[in-house]
Structure 1
């Protein structure tokens, strides 16, 4: 099955039609959808209508997922160095496979234009996004970015520091395969104990770095615990990656699998 056929199958399963967008009215719909998802402070929108107009006009990626006439997902990206697309922002209704369908559409779009990888950033504390990126798609984090966007004023980030992982997704014509890493027999160097994290020495070649069960809820209900998780993951996961550790996967329990050998 080609990448274009895979994308069409994923869109059909999620009940949407995905297409590139070109009109101001369409970009306005995307802007409003992202407002509903992130509920940002005024002036802090994920992407402006004007930016989407410029991206689409210059051959970049602006696409929407429609259920009938209703926009239920969208993605905006731009061409970057090294034959890649940087996916700047993607948002969709949760739990219906629309985000996955958008990523496969984005993948097919890139392969049709000779681009061989897609990059994007995501919050290392958001467990569902890590699982989607690393397990469902097979992308891999290549860099830990500390406070990448500064303090973000929206309902999801709740004023938290914006540490991010840079995900890199190599593209080819092979089917995308979901894969999860086992946790058994591996040393856990950061794990959940109550609402907060507990750190342990990294004395093995492969270690597990845990994440909070639901950091977005934790930010609302226990901001101190959320801040403790941010500091711990920055120190442990960020430190391991900066020292040459490689993230090889993500477990069903919500741990990053980090190899400390070359």
Structure 2
């Protein structure tokens, strides 16, 4: 069997833009993908569509546009996804690195995007491996999203900031995508959410909103999709409790600065830091 080779590149022709419609269906289970004509228009007018191919098969993509806010210009990544059967192979990481390369060449230093704080796989990639930070939490950002990934609770989102030429990000990339282990985190950092094992999934059992330490840990489900399957009400409870925690600590100047994992117990923790530059 030949080795699977992943190549990340821009679409070579119009037909490859249409492949991204099917990719969206496979990745998110949506019946309403962003149409190819919008991807073409965006890509040809200041945006960027990158596709990942495993040998000749499309397995993932990312798409974004130039954004402006408060007199500043940045790149806004609207979508990034990898088909289920190609996940956990570092393809999302490769897409983001190639995107960073293009955006740096365009003279910009910031990439922003949104993501669901309860999606720990995304947190491990975006915050842990890539070094993005989060200072804003928006309740129900998109309203109701009718797809298999997002249905079941409100679409709360972090606003991720990826300062792509900062020493922090350069150092994370040099680290080669290695995950931060919980055992490497300051053991004195308290838990703002304590979870309890219910036998199949964990529930958020206790919330602390008045901690004052320099760093605070916030646990989120290892697999929120599994939580939804096992107990949809428990998934909503995770949303409500983490919303309260993130809103409280971000309002007090804490910043989402890292993400640590405890692989053996399948647990994930955001690290919120105070006095972050």
TM-score, normalising length: structure 2 = 0.83
- Residue aligning to 2:271: 257
Say whether 1:28 aligns with 2:21: no
| CA spacing shift, 1:224–1:159, aligned 2, 3 Å | closer
Pairing partner for 1:204 from 206, 212, 215: 212
Aligned residue for 1:252, secondary structure, equals strand
For 2:45, the equivalent position in structure 1 comes to: 58
Q: Secondary structure at the match of 1:34?
A: helix
The aligned runs of 1:1-262 (5 Å cut-off) are 15-21=5-11, 23-40=13-30, 42=31, 44-45=32-33, 47-81=34-68, 82-92=72-82, 93-172=86-165, 174=170, 176-178=173-175, 180=180, 182-194=185-197, 195-197=202-204, 198-205=206-213, 206-253=215-262, 254-261=268-275
Q: Is the contact made by 1:152 and 1:160 (CA closer than 8 Å) also made in structure 2?
A: no
Given that 2:42 and 2:65 are in contact with CA atoms closer than 8 Å, whether structure 1 keeps it comes out as yes
**Would the alpha carbon gap of residues 213 and 191 (structure 1) be closer, same or farther in structure 2, given more than 3 Å must change?**
farther
Instruction: String of CA shifts for 1:51-98, please: whole Å, max 9, x gaps.
Output: 101111213101111123211111100011223111100111311111
Give the structure-1-normalised TM-score: 0.87
- Count the aligned residue pairs: 247
3-state SS, counterpart of residue 261 of structure 2: coil
Q: Provide the rounded CA distance (Å) in 2 between the counterparts of 1:91 and 1:22.
A: 19
Q: In structure 2, how many angstroms separate the alpha carbons of the residues matched to 1:212 and 1:17? A: 32
Mark the runs of 5 or more structure 2 residues left unpaired by the alignment.
263-267
SS in 2 for 1:161: coil
- List gaps (5 residues or longer) in structure 1: 1-12
Q: 1:156: Cα distance to partner?
A: 1.2
Would you say the 8 A contact 1:146–1:164 is kept in 2? Answer: yes
Preserved CA contact (<8 Å) 1:215 1:226: yes
Partners of 2:4 and 2:128 in 1: how far apart? 19
Whole-Å separation in 2 of the counterparts to 1:140 and 1:119: 10
Aligned-pair CA distance for 1:30: 0.9
Q: Secondary structure at the match of 1:251?
A: strand
Q: Is the 8 A contact 2:50 2:63 kept in 1?
A: yes
CA-atom RMSD, angstroms? 2.0
- Contact 2:118–2:239 (CA<8 Å) still a contact in 1? yes
